[in-house]
Amino acid sequence: MKDKVKLFALLFIFACFFLYHSKSEHLDKIQPNLWAFGTSDDTTVIEEEASDSLTQDEVWDWDEIYRIYKQLKGEKEDSLRDEYYFQIQKSFDIFAAAFRELLKNYVIEIPPLELIEYALDGITRQLDPYTDFFLNEKELNDVVSNYEYVGLGIVVSEIDSSLVVVDFIDSLAKDISGLKFGDQVVFIDNVKLVPNLDTLRAYTSGKENSRIELRVRREGVDTLIPIVTFRRKIEVPEVSFSKIFDVDDGKAIFISIKQFTPNMPDVVREILRSFVKFKPEERKGIIIDLRDNPGGTLESAIQLCEMFLPPNTIIVSTRGRAEDEEKTYKATIAPIDTTTPLIVLVNNGSASASEIVAAAIQDNDRGVILGEKTFGKGIIQSIAVLPYDSYLKITTAKYFSPSGRSIHKNRYLSSASKQIGKLYSTDTLFYTKNGRVVRESNGIQPDIEIKEKDRNSFVDYIRSKALIVKFITRIENQEPLSLGILQNKKRILEKFSNYLKEKGIDYKPFTETLLDTMIAYLERDKTQGSLLQKFKGLKKEMHKPIDKLVQENSNEILEEIENEIERRIVSFYEYKYYVLQQDEYFKESVTLLKNPKRYYEILGVKK
């Protein structure tokens, strides 16, 4: 790893040789400060400042660079040595000259560090979307280490130039923050906010336990409401929800994992230990939910697999450009449960570490994968420490399932991304432990596919605008909130229609928007009068008033209203289980657990 990073580090430092002067005429007099490098624990570190008498050849250590090149590319004839040196020198010369000219002659002054960020951003963008440069540790942590932060624990969406509270991270935020669903944050500490999430984040973050004053606009209240609360450390839960529930005459457990953090395996292990206290014959199933889990650390994925697979079982292997990237990872510790039926839920948002787990469970026939085809991120990144506490997140390897297949999908156009997609790929058929055929594809193909329901564009629209959230907040401010208000369904739908009209909602489906565009073109084209009238007639026929739209979608709207009321009147934990019971993935999983014969047939096991 350290050898590969050196070339990037050298490029970075070469650019930094040119110290910035505000007056361009002094640039010709710049004397670069040169640095010598050492390595420790696969990271590049600065050891000491070199003297001005060092030659460029001594600083760049061409023999060392060529040794790296030969190690990574294989032994080459010595006749290539001079050519390779020349290519490196030429690259540095061109880059340095361009860097110098931009500092000296660009129409506005650009700080050197800002310019090097632009340069490295351009380099990494041409490689793949996961390789990235970070100028400092804060930038890196914002992307990589988002396990905890100091804030209010609220989930906010930017809706129609307003910052709307749509959810809470945990029950504490819901109960003590003073905020309600649908509140629009207008002021923080007497500062009127520009309605964007970055601005909000800047004001809500700060020192733990520090006081913060908000003023919010709430549906049904004429004046802004002052709310005084405190910032606290918010730990984003690795396991968002777990529940032991009844299945026939036994017990099953559901565990939803949202990110693969270093701490996640310990959390899941404790949850599973509470489940395996039941006798084996009482344990009917384990459901692990990895939907919309973007991944995390490789080690945590391996540890999760070890809970369900016998020792010495292959979990994943990696292959990269360097020899030390070729590794096979096997289960090494005693598992928690290797026999209880296991179902892993995935969807298009399941990526990276989630796919490592799904592939290991599928290829070893330990459980059934249920849901949608996964995202298809089959490459691994490592963090390299560069000089001045800067960092490079770099793609170093591809990973492969126990059967040997890659699941990486190349969805980017750069030359490097295309080459990564083809690396070690094959059309060969692969086989699971029990002999089931699995194919190398762009993601993990589930054993049981759950097709997404047809989307209702009108309901999606009112959901995206948080209109039901705000509507229920208004009712909550007028009368005690309970599910009893749904007894008169006609009345509640009428009130919702009136609310939408009061808000000036005039919904247009995408097809009607296209018609408007065509009509606008035809109105400018005076030769198409008859066609214009036909399009206008079609638009009139297509457009539906709010009352009719609400009536046509009444069942889904009533369901949304019921869900919104439920999450306000029950506990945080109770609401999660309430939603889970309506989940199609969960329903299908429970149905499968109640049918052991089908479960084992899918895995190719005769029982």
Which residue do the tokens 């390779």 mark?
84
Is pLDDT of 541 > 90? no
Q: Are strands 437-438 and 430-431 parallel, antiparallel or unpaired?
A: antiparallel
What does the DSSP assignment read for 508-536?
Answer: --HHHHHHHHHHHHHHH-TT-HHHHHHHH
Q: What is the three-class DSSP state of 45?
A: strand
| pLDDT for res 392 | 93
pTM of the predicted model, to two decimals? 0.80
CA distances 592 to 77, 368, 371, 597, 603, Å, are: 61, 10, 13, 9, 12
Greater confidence (527 vs 78) lies with: 527
Residue 380: in which H helix or E strand, if any? strand 379-386
Is pLDDT of 27 > 70? no
Mean pLDDT of 437-454: 87
Q: Return the bridge partners of 167, or none.
A: 155
Banded pLDDT at 415 (limits 50, 70, 90): low
Q: Give the C-alpha separation, 488 to 61, whole Å.
A: 82
pLDDT digits (tens, 9 = 90+) for 200-223: 988 998 899 999 999 999 998 999
Q: What is the mean pLDDT of the chain?
A: 84
Dmax (CA) of the chain: 89
Tokens of 156: 């906010």
- In the chain, the domains with their CATH numbers are 2-125 (no CATH), 148-235 (2.30.42.10), 239-452 (3.90.226.10), 457-507+544-588 (no CATH)
| pLDDT for res 428 | 72
Sign for the pseudo-dihedral over CA of 268, 274, 278, 279: positive
Greater confidence (37 vs 95) lies with: 95
